[in-house]
Amino acid sequence: MKMEFFNYMFSVIYFLLPAAFANMAPVIFKRVNFLVYPVDFGLKFRGRRLLGENKTIRGVFLLLFLELYLFIFKDLCMLMDGFLILVLLIIL
């Protein structure tokens, strides 16, 4: 019973890991002055920005790049039965 629960929790964490790290990417790389343009290109609706002040092309780019990176390497590590490699990639 305990081993089934452990396997279930590991599979949930394994599945959600790329999304969790990709959502942290814009916050981590906030000081990078690269593609700091608003996603809505300054469009306004009723006097307010359409998507707000903090949605940038940099955030979208970093989110997609990090998501793809983690997805590919996560699956490669599991194909090689390399849990240790997965942990090292996460730390780096």
Give the residue extent of every domain in the chain: 2-91
Give residue-wise pLDDT tens across range 42-89: 888 898 888 888 888 888 888 888 878 777 777 776 666 656 666 666
β-pair partners for 38: 56
pLDDT-based confidence at residue 30 (cuts at 50, 70, 90): confident
* Strands (DSSP E) found in 1-92: 44-45, 48-49
In whole angstroms, give the CA distance from residue 9 to residue 1: 13
Which phi and psi (to 5°) does residue 41 adopt?
Answer: 55, 35
Note the pLDDT of residue 18: 75
pLDDT value, residue 60: 84
Q: Which two tokens stand for residue 70?
A: 């983690």
Residue-level pLDDT at 66? 80
pTM of this structure: 0.61
Cα 45 from chain centre: 29
